[in-house]
Structure 1
Amino acid sequence: MKTNDVSIRKMKHTDFQLMAQWLSTKEVLEFYGDVNAPFTLQQVKDKYEPRVNGAIPIIPYIVELDNMPIGFIQQYKLSKEEQEKLDYPAHFNIYGMDQFIGIPSLYNKGIGAIMVRLMLDYIAHHTDAEIILLDPAVSNIRAIRCYEKCGFMKVKKINDEANWLMEYRRR
């Protein structure tokens, strides 16, 4: 997946050290993890190795800018149980996405919107997704603005009103 200078490739085992670095950054952990609990390299391996190996159905990717790794994105199909918890009928094909830019100096440059649009396009052409969901923290105004720019709509607050459930419907 590529547009302009931004590309997305599948995560590899050699990316774990970089993920550990990003997941130890206060600005990343503010909305993707816990600021008081940075990830160790072993925690990254434990979490992402099964995904890289295809052992679980969450597909992780690395986002690159001019061939330099700058962020992370993943996509997955929601289970029927997860869909029902969110009040979606089981007959819909619903996918989820999670993402972050790992280098804070690259925030507010439009890169997030490019990577989200690239993944939306990929999911639209390579899956049976009818709806794609995100759940940003209510306080993550920058991300919410980005997602709305990409066509996501706020549906409702979830997780004790800490997150927005946002959806993108394929047209």
Structure 2
Amino acid sequence: MQPDQTIAFAAVDESHEPMLFGWLSQPHVRAWWGEPQGELELIREGRATGDAQGFIFSVDGEPAGYIQSWLPTQYESERWASDLTPDTPGIDIFVGPAEMTGKGFAAAAIRAFVPRLFAGTAPRIIIDPDAGNTRALRAYAKAGFTAYGEWNDSAGRTILMELTRTEFERTR
């Protein structure tokens, strides 16, 4: 990511679905997001219910990936979220085109996205990557997130990471 590049966000709508499906079908995304049709349905459902706010992020006008915010405490399946306040958002992100991975776009998109989440009352933002997703762990650390715990269950080991409002404001 070059310092003079611009990141923009567009709310996901039906016109983005073919692109999202293509990205979700890429091996580097599918490894961590699961079956493409099921993931696309979850994105649709989140948009319809308002439980997730999804966006396509672009770099200099070129679609580069997907980012969403959601509230982990709204999901009983996220047992690791029991200590969070109800206003603590979680985010998920992936870089779509394989040739754009490893270039700093995810970290830059996160840094550009989090001000909208801190505009509310959230004391921190959470992200929960799989422990084996070392590329994501590096990107999230580069964006300012720090590990504060881990969760082990039948799905595997999850690293719980946070970006606090205080740390975000300090490094802005």
TM-score with structure 1 setting the length: 0.82
Match of 2:72 among 62, 78, 90: 78
Specify the SS of the correspondent of 2:44: helix
Say whether residues 1:48 and 2:43 are aligned partners: yes
Check 1:130–1:20 CA distance in 2 against 1; reply closer, same or farther (3 A cut): same
What is the aligned length? Answer: 161
How far apart in 2 are the matches of 1:142 and 1:66? 23
Matches within 5 A, 1:11-22: 11-22=12-23
How far apart in 2 are the matches of 1:129 and 1:100? 23
Match of 1:119 among 89, 95, 113: 113
How far apart in 1 are the matches of 2:42 and 2:125? 23
Give yes or no for contact 2:20–2:40 (8 Å, CA) kept in 1.
no
TM-score with structure 2 setting the length: 0.82
Percentage of identical aligned residues? 24
Deviation at 1:91, TM superposition (A): 4.7
How far apart in 1 are the matches of 2:39 and 2:88? 26
Structure 2 residues without counterparts, runs of 5 or longer: 167-172
Specify the SS of the correspondent of 1:52: helix
Say whether residues 1:144 and 2:145 are aligned partners: no
Query: Structure 1 residues 159-168 or 55-64, which shifts more?
Result: 159-168
How far apart in 1 are the matches of 2:133 and 2:75? 27
Specify the SS of the correspondent of 1:128: coil
Say whether residues 1:163 and 2:158 are aligned partners: yes
Q: Which has a greater percent of helix?
A: 2
Give yes or no for contact 1:13–1:52 (8 Å, CA) kept in 2.
no
Match of 1:8 in 2: 9
Check 1:139–1:128 CA distance in 2 against 1; reply closer, same or farther (3 A cut): same
Match of 2:51 among 42, 53, 57: 57
Check 1:116–1:131 CA distance in 2 against 1; reply closer, same or farther (3 A cut): same
Question: RMSD across aligned C-alpha pairs, in angstroms?
Answer: 2.4
Structure 1 residues without counterparts, runs of 5 or longer: none
Specify the SS of the correspondent of 1:155: strand
How far apart in 2 are the matches of 1:51 and 1:100? 17
Say whether residues 1:97 and 2:91 are aligned partners: yes
How far apart in 1 are the matches of 2:92 and 2:152? 16
Check 1:151–1:17 CA distance in 2 against 1; reply closer, same or farther (3 A cut): same
